[in-house]
Structure 1
Amino acid sequence: MTSVAALADAVRAAEPRLGSVRLVCVEGPAGSGKTTLANLLGAELDGTVLHLDDLYDGWAGLDGVFERLDEQVLTPLGLGRRGSYQRYDWELARFADWREVPVPAFLVVEGCGSAPRALDGRAVLVVWVEAPVDVRLGRGLARDGETMRENWLRWLDLEAAHFAREGTRERADVVVDGRTALQP
């Protein structure tokens, strides 16, 4: 089992690759445990955690999310400037308010699509979190409700195609089993 402390130590030991920022991507399929790991790692690093759920353009928003993240957050941070992104409001089904991202020492970005090939060379650590599809779907429906089943099933297809195209799991630095409790 990989400990959060060990991951944080590896991040601290790495040289920044995004200007002065040490970027960590917590990647993997929906419902695998990415958010839990990212929040634990962000707390351990006293860093900023950015959730791609805030940048997707709704349930069909996997394609295009990285371009938005790169343009609005990563490129400015790499240049030593604050980033900002327009947060997606899931209840209103549209982009809403803008959020600032000051230049942090550590930035943890989590979500499906956080580590495409276009990011290669800028992250100090890419963590792939995985769990069986029945576990992931169960977690998602427990959180979002049974009425979201069709959205979840479409998303699972979208992410599978994305991960196959990007070779994401194979390019990750670390693979974590999201079924197990992550140790601080």
Structure 2
Amino acid sequence: MPTPRESTEHLADRLLAEIARRQPTCGATRVIAIDGPSGSGKTDLARILAARGDAAIVHLDDLYPGWHGLDATPPMVADLLGAIAVGEVGTAARWSWVRDRPGLVLRVLPQPLIVLDGVGSGAGVVRPFLNLLVWVDAPEAVRHDRAMARDGDTYAPWWDVWAAQEQLHHRREQTQTHADVVVRT
């Protein structure tokens, strides 16, 4: 029986093989988006994909403008990818969670493969740039436990606020319906 790490690595290999068969949709760049609710396992999969595919990774956690900023993020990602699609450096303002304000600018060079990691990466405004949209999900209790283990002291007071935004966003965007691949962790 494979370990969870082996399962994720096998999945990553299958996703990379699939994306290699597809023509780039963001200029000369192929883009994989890993979307789904908090604590579902998006970042673990994104890191493995980026490492195995020699790809840049864009963590949307670096971009959300605060705990109420989910819906502001997909247009920023679309702008970043729009620049890459025409061969320019994509930029977006990082969010300083410590200072609760914009921070340093994230710069992403055009390259063969980019992995987007985070809630909103599969939003309608971003989809024209995507080669592959992966929806990752897990039972709510599992997701909650994972999120608290990862960011408990900071995240605990905001779990309900963020979860409500996720639910509204995903329902409106129909992200899971548009996914090429659905993964349960």
TM over 0.5: yes
Paired position in structure 2 for 1:152: 159
Alignment partner of 1:56 is 2:64: yes
- TM-score w.r.t. length of structure 2: 0.91
Q: Distance in 1 between matches of 2:122 and 2:27?
A: 18
> Aligned-pair RMSD on alpha carbons?
1.3
Q: How does 1:80-91 map to 2 (within 5 A)?
A: 80-91=87-98
Q: How does 1:1-184 map to 2 (within 5 A)?
A: 3-71=11-79, 73-146=80-153, 148-178=155-185
Cα displacement (A) at 1:89: 1.4
Q: Distance in 2 between matches of 1:148 and 1:97?
A: 22
Cα displacement (A) at 1:146: 4.4
1:19 is aligned with what amino acid? G
Q: Distance in 2 between matches of 1:147 and 1:102?
A: 31
1:113 is aligned with what amino acid? G
Cα displacement (A) at 1:150: 2.8
2:87 is aligned with what amino acid? G
Q: Distance in 2 between matches of 1:139 and 1:90?
A: 20
Q: Distance in 1 between matches of 2:87 and 2:24?
A: 12
1:94 is aligned with what amino acid? R
* CA shift in 2, pair 1:125/1:147, >3 Å: closer
Moved over 4 A (4+): none
* CA shift in 2, pair 1:20/1:160, >3 Å: same
Paired position in structure 1 for 2:4: none
Deviation string, structure 1 residues 61-91 (Cα, Å, up to 9, x no partner): 10110111122x1110011111122211111
Q: Distance in 2 between matches of 1:3 and 1:108?
A: 15
Given that 2:78 and 2:125 are in contact with CA atoms closer than 8 Å, whether structure 1 keeps it comes out as: no
Q: Distance in 2 between matches of 1:132 and 1:93?
A: 30
Number of equivalent positions: 177
Q: Distance in 2 between matches of 1:114 and 1:120?
A: 8
Q: Distance in 2 between matches of 1:147 and 1:106?
A: 32
* CA shift in 2, pair 1:14/1:157, >3 Å: same
- TM-score w.r.t. length of structure 1: 0.91
Deviation string, structure 1 residues 27-83 (Cα, Å, up to 9, x no partner): 000110000000101111101000000110011110110111122x11100111111
Q: Distance in 1 between matches of 2:18 and 2:154?
A: 41
Gap runs ≥5 in structure 1: 179-184
1:57 is aligned with what amino acid? P
